[in-house]
Amino acid sequence: MLKGKSLVAGEWIGSDRNFFNEPVSGTADEFSQGTPELVDRACEAAEQAFWKFGYSSRADRASFLREIAKQIELRGPDLTEMGMKETGLPEARLEGERGRTVAQMRLFADHIEAGDYLDRRHDVALPDRAPLPRPDLRLMQRPIGPVAVFGASNFPLAFSTAGGDTASALAAGCPVVVKGHPAHPGIADIIAQAFDAAIKSTGVHPGVFSQVLDGGRIVGETLVQHPLICAVGFTGSPAGGRALFDLAAARPSPIPFYGELGSTNPVFVLPNALAHRAEEIATSWVASLTLGAGQFCTNPSVCVVVDGKGADQFVAALAKALADAAPQTMLTDSITRAYQAGVDQWKTMPDVKALHASDNLQRAAGPNAFSVSASDWLSNTGLQDEVFGPAGLVVRAKDMSEAVEMARALEGQLTCTLQMDEDDIEAAAQLMPILERKAGRILANGFPTGVEVCDSMVHGGPYPASTNFGATSVGTLSIRRFLRPVCFQNMPGELLPDDIKHD
């Protein structure tokens, strides 16, 4: 059963204001609106918890993460049922995402037990060094304190209450205060119950996790500005993320804001690949473009082709594949409206040609594709704006020089992709140094939807893909966001953290 309230340091607390979810079908559920007072209470509890949790053993934190995973699995059927109701996502997708969510909890448990993330360094004392002796110096990574996490609309499990931001922060030793996403408060409620059970089972301080539900903005704005919050993890729209980023920077004591905001994830189809595999690449692009109604941050919404053999064949195959693609339910009414507005804007641009057009049917979105020349794309910065949904833009370059010029003009991206054959190596070599500066992940002969959770993954990139190009929100490297290096000089062993006493 739903609690319908915020979970603050082990207590389920309501308020005198309520909001409702927006189910695809069935009766809406009622939830208590969070307040600034609840945010303050959650942050105070997180700070209190940090003095124990931040200095707990890696083994204890690993056990806590594994217990969270176990408690989420126990609620699997309820999560799937609520997820289908609130988001319209199919059963298989939700079950797969739940598997990813618990797997990354366990991955971080394994990661901190191994200890490599601590980056321990030791320069032994050199008392006889001339002209000056060297002191004993030891360095390791330490947790920063309470972290604010914002749930994402498009991944109600893997990027939300129990998502990678929460998992990596807890693994680091940082208590978490989550701003529950209004698109799926029911899922957030059930996940919070799993955390509550895990806290009670392991005896962890209840302030280690709180979730404040919010049907608007007040909770998020209050959370980012709270003086006890030391960093923020966010996945969402460029407008919302930039507003919160500015609030974090404007604080008397600014804090890092790790925001993933927007990306068009361009695919460059090089000449020989286009000549030999035009239909195959077009069909595969459509499959990636329309996957999950295009509601992935890695959705490859821009495809660059160099005019020549295969270009017209590519466009024809693209239009045919899109004509066969059925409308899909989108996550929320507001996302559906925003998608339609983005498509309508493309339709009004004089240099943009429709290849396949369809309209939304209430919350169901149909796929769309448009074509524009590279020269017109270069002169219209609005074509770099993300349209969140199953809409693609084919940019036709007259030659490789123009494709390279377009690559140079790209904003920061989560991903860039090269579709290439063996004879395209020289052309690809022209693009690689540029794409390295534009994206966090570069692919060859694949499509970026589907982000592996592992040690080597980078899910981030230069702005506006993310607000911190040196960080990732997926993979074990994401723990670095919630740690900072501390050097201990000539420190007696009795005062050193246990993890650095022996090397």
Is the model's pLDDT at 367 over the cut of 80?
yes
pLDDT score recorded for residue 502:
67
Buried b (16+ CB within 10 A) or exposed e, 145-161: bbbbbbbbbbbbbbbbb
Is the model's pLDDT at 310 over the cut of 80?
yes
Q: What are phi and psi of 465, to 5 degrees?
A: -60, -45
Q: Give how far the C-alpha of residue 96 lies from the chain's centroid of Cα atoms, to the nearest Å.
A: 17
Strands (E), 160-261: 176-180, 209-213, 231-235, 257-260
Token representation of residue 261: 């905001």
Span 203-255, pLDDT tens digits: 999 999 999 999 889 999 999 999 999 999 999 999 999 999 999 999 999 99
Given a contact cutoff of 8 angstroms between Cβ atoms, the answer to whether 270 and 423 are in contact is: no
Is the model's pLDDT at 360 over the cut of 80?
no
Q: Which residue has the tokens 């020089």?
A: 401
Is the model's pLDDT at 166 over the cut of 60?
yes
pLDDT score recorded for residue 242:
95
Distance (Å, rounded) from C-alpha 324 to C-alpha 458? 34
pLDDT score recorded for residue 253:
96
Compute the mean pLDDT over every residue in the chain, rounded to the nearest whole number: 96
Q: Which amino acid appears at position 414 of this protein?
A: L
Distance (Å, rounded) from C-alpha 33 to C-alpha 24? 21
- C-beta neighbour count of 473 within 10 angstroms: 29
User: By mean pLDDT, which of 18-22, 131-135, 224-228, 359-363 is the weakest?
Assistant: 359-363
Q: What is the mean pLDDT of residues 140-159?
A: 96
Read out DSSP for 358-427?
A: ---BTTEE--EEEEEEHHHHHH-GGGGS---SSEEEEEEESSHHHHHHHHHH---EEEEEEE--GGGHHH
Is the model's pLDDT at 503 over the cut of 70?
no
The catalytic site residues sit at: 260, 297
Rg of the chain over CA atoms, in angstroms? Answer: 24
Q: What is the mean pLDDT of residues 344-353?
A: 92
Token representation of residue 8: 């603050």
Span 77-94, pLDDT tens digits: 999 999 999 999 999 999
Distance (Å, rounded) from C-alpha 68 to C-alpha 288? 32
pLDDT score recorded for residue 243:
96
Q: What is the mean pLDDT of residues 439-445?
A: 98
Please, how many CA atoms are within 13 Å of residue 62, restricted to the half-sphere of its CB? 12
pLDDT cut 90: percent of the chain above it: 95
Span 391-434, pLDDT tens digits: 999 999 999 999 999 999 999 999 999 999 999 999 999 999 99
pLDDT score recorded for residue 216:
86
The torsion of the CA quartet 91, 97, 101, 106, rounded to 10 degrees, works out to: 100
| 359 pLDDT tier (thresholds 50, 70, 90) | confident
